Structure formats: structure tokens, C-alpha cells
Amino acid sequence: MPDHRSEKHFNGRIGWLRAAVLGANDGIISTSCLLLGVASANLARNEMLLTGIAALVAGAMSMAAGEYVSVSSQADTEQAELDREQQELLDKPDAEHRELASIYVARGLTPDLAKQVAQQLMAHDALSAHARDELGIHEASAARPVQAAITSALTFSLGSALPLLTALLVPGTILIPALGLTSLLFLVGLGTLAAKVGGAPLLPAALRVGFWGALAMIVTSVIGDFFGTIV
């Protein structure tokens, strides 16, 4: 039989990878769009950079706070479900055994085998068995608010710094096309890297991130050019 320990799975990365991709993607898109809007409105270079730095700091703090609050709410819900399930296991263990067995029957086991499986799993760790198979709460995908907040803030800062560096180093005469092109490349690279780390197909992820990023930058540039200011 194959040794499952030799198999490579990526679901343990779901929590931090989601926060990392969201943070970096938001950092690149929001900062590049802001800089493109300001540049299209013909603001001075120093004002544009100051706006970008403010966006980096504010965005990183906002991402951290938002992720922490959101994932904390998820963690609270999961814990409430586990507490409720623990009480049900104490109050009516036979009913909980039948419920778990019925889940396994629905998944294809015979009734007798399902009863045996449920009995053995509950004898080993009843709450974990019900959390996994009844509630869908897995250790790999459990909510981790602090991890999500830190990951999101750091990756947002990194993503935001990329268009800022472009704005700092590129001459003003080619700033707008350079910002658009480099930011698009950053986004495609991010999508590719995220897919690689997560074990997903590379091309769909790269195209998806690139398309929405390009759309956001085009809209912002048009608005900045039309109104001559940041909306």
C-alpha cells in the first residue's frame, strides 16, 4: 500500500496562502492604481510618492485589521460550533453516533461498516470526528486570526512597494506606461507564484490576476485623466 506520508499535499497552506495572495494582490493593484490616477492628473513627483507611501501604510494597517476581525469572526463561529457539538456528545452520545454513521453511509459505506467506523472514531476522539465529518472543520483550514493579519500586512507592504519603486526610479516621461506594464508583470508573477505554491495550474491563475489588475488600472487612469484629480 502507498505510504501517505510520501504524498505532497497543499491544503495545509490554504490559510496563510489566501492571506498572502490577497495582501500582495491588493497592495500592487491599489497602489499602482492610485499612482496611475495621480500621474494621469499631472501631480508632482514628490506629491505622488507621498500619496503612495501613505497608501502603503494605511493599506497595510487596514488589511491587518480587516483580516484579524474577519478571521476572528470565523474562529468564534468554529469554536461555538465545537462547544455545541461537545455538549451534544455529552447529552446524547447514541444519537451522535447514529448521526456520524449516517454520514458515512451517505459517503458509500455499508450501514454495518459505518456503525463500526463511527464507533471506533468516537472512541478515539469523538469531537474531532464530528468536527471533521459533520461540521467540516479541519485542522489544516482552521481560522488563525494573528497569522492571517501578519501575513496580509506584510505581503500588502511588499506588493505596494513594487509600484512605489517603479514610480521612484522611472523617468516622468514614461512613468504612466512603465507603471502600468511593471504592475501588470508583478500581478502575473504573483498569480503564477501563488499557483505554484498552492499546487494549482499556473496559466489560469496568472491570467485571472492579470486581467482584473489591468482592468482596475485602466479605469483609474481614465478617471484621473478625465477629472484631473483623485476621485
Q: Judge whether 63 and 26 are in contact, CB under 8 Å.
A: yes
* Cα dihedral across residues 68, 74, 76, 79: positive or negative: negative
Query: How many domains does the chain divide into?
Result: 1
Identify the DSSP state of 41.
T
7 DSSP assignment: S
Full-prediction pTM beyond 0.75?
no
pLDDT score of 224:
67
Q: Is residue 109 part of a domain?
A: no
Q: Is residue 127 a part of any domain in this protein?
A: no
Which domain covers residue 155, as residue numbers? 12-90+143-227
138 assigned to some structural domain: no
pLDDT of 140 reads 57
- For 169, phi then psi, to 5°, come to -100, -25
> Which pairs count as long-range contacts for 214-219, CB under 8 Å and 24+ apart, including other chains?
214/180, 214/184, 214/187, 216/29, 216/33, 217/29, 217/32, 217/33, 217/36, 217/179, 217/180, 217/183, 217/184, 219/33
What is the per-residue DSSP string for 69-124? HHHHHHHHHHHHHHHHHHHHHHH-HHHHHHHHHHHHHHTT--HHHHHHHHHHHHHH
Instruction: pLDDT tens for the chain, 231 residues: list them.
Output: 444 454 554 444 555 677 777 788 888 888 888 888 888 777 778 888 888 899 899 989 988 898 888 888 888 888 898 899 899 999 998 999 999 899 999 999 999 999 999 999 899 988 888 888 888 877 656 667 888 888 889 999 999 999 999 988 888 788 888 888 898 888 888 888 877 877 778 888 888 888 888 888 888 777 766 665 444
What is the model's pLDDT at position 101? 92
Long-range contacts at 207-211 (CB < 8 A, ≥ 24 apart): 209/25, 210/184
User: Has residue 186 been placed in a domain?
Assistant: yes
Distance, CA of 93 to CA of 97 (rounded, Å): 6
Q: Evaluate whether residue 85 is within a structural domain.
A: yes
What single string gives the DSSP state of each residue in 148-201?
Answer: HHHHHHHHHHHHHHHHHHHHHHS-GGGHHHHHHHHHHHHHHHHHHHHHHHHT--
Residue 180 domain-assigned? Answer: yes
Is 137 domain-assigned? Answer: no
Predicted local distance difference test score (pLDDT) of residue 29 = 87
Calpha distance 176→183 (Å, rounded): 11
114: in domain: no
